[in-house]
Structure 1
Amino acid sequence: MLKAISLFTGAGGLDLGFEAAGFKTRVAVDIDPICCETLRCNRRWPVIEGDLSTISSRQLLKAARLKPGEADVLIGGPPCQPFSKSGYWAHGDAPRLRDPNASTLNEYLRVVRDTRPKALLLENVYGLAYAGKSEGLDRILKGIKKINKEANTNYVPVWKVLDAANYGVPQRRERIFIIASRDGRRFQFPEPTHADGDAEELPSGLKAFHTAWDALGDLPARPNDPDLQLTGKWAGLLPSIPEGQNYLWHTPRGGGLPLFGWRTRYWSFLLKLAKDKPSWTIQAQPGPATGPFHWTNRKLSPRELARLQTFPEDFRFDTDRAQVQRMLGNAVPSLLAEVLAREIRRQLLDTPLRSSKLKLMPPRRRTVPPPHVTAPVCVSYHSLKGAHPDHPGEALGPRAKLRELEVAE
């Protein structure tokens, strides 16, 4: 098997996809003890638990039993909070390079310099490349250019924002990927294989998105698990929202009652899955009213979350649901990782796989049940009915907008 070094491994979403494409993780590094224990319980990979800034590249290579230049690929997704979309909504900006966690980009580059893998892949939120706010991406590209001078390599980084649903993942999830080859070969990202729409109406060669029903249709609709029940102020309102809708249903532009102003909440507030569409992005640390929720008006189970992230069926979690959501919400969908790993093999490592069949592609379920029936709005929410102002700005939450006005004054 081809040899991979994995940084910021988390629950192993990238690694599991590379595993499906014939790579073996020779060493994995993560600071989180629950992630590390989860990895150890599922795979026999050498796992180093700790802050990467305190772990030398020599330690990594020794644990992997590799010398500089022998690793086929270095993979990793440095913590993305400094560049996240939710940061822009809540604060009017994300901390980006001002956040101490952004130093993880430097640590990734340090390991590239010292281990000199034949290829590298770095994943992050697409906020890393926002126009006018791309300091993180610039640091990576300039850092790789510096490595080429210092280590006599010829990495030519190519980056692109990919939506996982375009490659068969039953989830809309946009992330940036940076890929480079040590010998200067320029990576070409694979063209999408899936698109929104009916299969009969799509251009030749494209398949319809995989849906939430494809991923979850064989699992119990109402598992006997009290941890999946909604709590908090808005729990009683979710049953009145149709599948595929969020709180916007209860605005003057929706089909429900005028309980909120247009776009005055974050998009995932009271967001519910639709059986015939992909899931929306699974979040790592959602609030009590943050979706996506199951169409039966409950939280998603650990197995359902793993299905939407296309983790292998044999992968297990021995911790509570909140920790599972955190790990999976931070992970790369393993199927997307498999797609990219196969292309890295073919384009950059001259080791294409004979079979074109993707191991982690979910099955199709032909018969999709009708939408779940909605309930009337509980009387306790009727006091919210009235004229609510729309959101006053673009891409900012109400508190962030208020701060923006205070600064202007």
Structure 2
Amino acid sequence: MKPKIVSIFSGVGGIDAGFEKAGFQTVFATDIWDVSCISLKKNFPETEVVCDDIQNIDFDAIRLKHGNIDGLVGGPPCPPFSKSRFYRKEKSRGIDDEDGFITISNYFRAVKELNPNFFLFENVHGFVFAPHKTAMDMLELESEKLGYKIFHKVLNAADYGVAQTRQRFICIGVKKALEDYIFPDPTHSNPLELELKKKRWVTCGDILNDIDFDLDEDVNMQAGSKHKEYLKEVPPGENYLFFTAERGYAKPIFKWRSRYWSFLLKLSPDRPSWTIQASHSNNMGPFHWKNRFLRIQEIKRIQSFDDNYIMEGNFKDQWRQVGNAVPPKLAEVLAIQIKKIYYTTTERYSKKMELLHD
């Protein structure tokens, strides 16, 4: 029998896709956005999907319906913990933000009611920044109170074969009676710092070149808005800083670090993509090295989704679903390690799991 997981803040199911490939079964998934819930139902037809506010989900009822739950997975919405919140002075940060407190407190309500053997908590790497110490303290205190020991680390998806330098905070909680969780060793590394026995990072050229062909629609997909002529001058792998005095541009157009990093950011076929954001913009990249917007099929590959994975909604809806997701390949690596440590076929582990649920 496959270990059973419950997924919350599921989005389009990036974590679930990875866990299912590792041999887990998602028995229940939930999100508040109806579009992503439709996508979830199509990609996980055997899963019970409920579209509702997390505060309305009855996890006791889920456990009664589906039996003992092995794991809880999910990433509470990240805006309160993101780097951009440092610049939004009109909004509170971390759990001082109402949404931040509601989502994290309900995450641990789910842990309490489901009583899983393990949980996976994902968020932006800014979660570990000093201004969010109260959130980290809450995570540690709630885990301790509920009988879990936690292991956390900021991981770069590119180090595990994803064609994207996407850094995420990952926290694995396991019941105190179980062995410690050990994060899997990276399998890939930056070619400039290539380590022995590791592969080089997967590049955008590696995953996109076979679908990078000229189409009539390319003309209508030219990016950059009013700055499109500038975008054409930006070399692959660079951004608006190319036009600054500090970079030696003869007649500087922009001031140093006066815009977001993604402004006029262009992919290079020779390195992984930068983080795919949840929102689509006319002048915020990354853009294709051919000066056009990326297609949904392309950002799906950058996020390591299978080509046949279904995204419902219009272009911006699909982009948002992909950009909000945890790369399935990263989730799969973490899930394989969980299965390896806690779900072996040995009698010792089988008996221990049964005792934990009694």
Paired AA for residue 11 in structure 1: V
Paired AA for residue 41 in structure 1: K
| CA spacing shift, 1:124–1:351, aligned 2, 3 Å | farther
Q: Please name the residue that 1:356 is paired with.
A: none
- The yes-or-no answer on 1:142 pairing with 2:141 is yes
CA shift, 1:224, in A, is 4.0
- The yes-or-no answer on 1:222 pairing with 2:214 is yes
Q: Please name the residue that 1:271 is paired with.
A: 265
CA shift, 1:204, in A, is 1.9
**TM-score normalised per structure 2:** 0.90
Rounded to whole Å, the distance in 2 between the matches of 1:322 and 1:129 is: 30
CA shift, 1:128, in A, is 1.1
CA shift, 1:325, in A, is 1.2
Contact in 1 for aligned 2:8/2:30 (Cα 8 Å): yes
| CA spacing shift, 1:9–1:197, aligned 2, 3 Å | same
Contact in 2 for aligned 1:7/1:75 (Cα 8 Å): yes
Correspondence for 2:239 among 218, 239, 246: 246
| CA spacing shift, 1:278–1:255, aligned 2, 3 Å | farther
Correspondence for 2:339 among 325, 340, 345: 345
> Counterpart of 1:75 in 2: which secondary structure?
strand
Q: Deviations over 1:245-269 (max 9, x none)?
A: 0000000122544111111111111
Rounded to whole Å, the distance in 2 between the matches of 1:97 and 1:281 is: 24
Q: Please name the residue that 1:304 is paired with.
A: 298
Paired AA for residue 219 in structure 1: I
CA shift, 1:140, in A, is 1.1
| CA spacing shift, 1:196–1:273, aligned 2, 3 Å | same
Contact in 2 for aligned 1:345/1:351 (Cα 8 Å): no
Rounded to whole Å, the distance in 1 between the matches of 2:155 and 2:255 is: 32
Rounded to whole Å, the distance in 2 between the matches of 1:255 and 1:167 is: 36
> Counterpart of 2:149 in 1: which secondary structure?
coil
**TM-score normalised per structure 1:** 0.79
In the TM superposition, 1:113-124 aligns within 5 A as: 113-124=112-123
In the TM superposition, 1:377-392 aligns within 5 A as: none
Q: Please name the residue that 1:392 is paired with.
A: none
Contact in 2 for aligned 1:14/1:333 (Cα 8 Å): yes
Q: Please name the residue that 1:79 is paired with.
A: 77
Rounded to whole Å, the distance in 1 between the matches of 2:40 and 2:131 is: 38
Q: Please name the residue that 1:66 is paired with.
A: 66
| CA spacing shift, 1:133–1:92, aligned 2, 3 Å | farther
In the TM superposition, 1:30-109 aligns within 5 A as: 30-44=31-45, 45-62=47-64, 65-67=65-67, 70-91=68-89, 95-102=93-100, 103-109=102-108
Contact in 1 for aligned 2:6/2:72 (Cα 8 Å): yes
Rounded to whole Å, the distance in 1 between the matches of 2:265 and 2:91 is: 24
Give the structure with the higher percent helix.
Answer: 2
| Cα RMSD (Å) | 1.9
Q: Please name the residue that 1:18 is paired with.
A: 19
- The yes-or-no answer on 1:292 pairing with 2:281 is no
Paired AA for residue 222 in structure 2: Q
Contact in 1 for aligned 2:224/2:231 (Cα 8 Å): no
Correspondence for 2:310 among 302, 306, 316: 316
Rounded to whole Å, the distance in 2 between the matches of 1:8 and 1:39 is: 12
Rounded to whole Å, the distance in 1 between the matches of 2:18 and 2:28 is: 15
**The 10-residue stretch of structure 1 (37-46 or 83-92) with the greater mean CA deviation from structure 2:** 83-92
Q: Please name the residue that 2:355 is paired with.
A: none
**The 10-residue stretch of structure 1 (343-352 or 188-197) with the greater mean CA deviation from structure 2:** 343-352
Q: Deviations over 1:149-189 (max 9, x none)?
A: xxxxxx11111000000111000000100102123421111
| CA spacing shift, 1:195–1:93, aligned 2, 3 Å | farther
**The 10-residue stretch of structure 1 (316-325 or 28-37) with the greater mean CA deviation from structure 2:** 316-325
Contact in 1 for aligned 2:3/2:24 (Cα 8 Å): yes
| CA spacing shift, 1:130–1:93, aligned 2, 3 Å | farther
Percent same amino acid at aligned positions? 39
Rounded to whole Å, the distance in 1 between the matches of 2:105 and 2:244 is: 45
CA shift, 1:235, in A, is 2.6
Rounded to whole Å, the distance in 2 between the matches of 1:225 and 1:211 is: 24
> Counterpart of 1:234 in 2: which secondary structure?
helix
Paired AA for residue 82 in structure 1: P
Specify every segment of 5 or more residues in structure 1 that has no aligned partner in the other structure, as ranges. 149-154, 353-409
- The yes-or-no answer on 1:189 pairing with 2:183 is yes
Contact in 2 for aligned 1:246/1:269 (Cα 8 Å): yes
> Counterpart of 2:122 in 1: which secondary structure?
strand
Q: Please name the residue that 1:234 is paired with.
A: 227
Specify every segment of 5 or more residues in structure 2 that has no aligned partner in the other structure, as ranges. 347-358
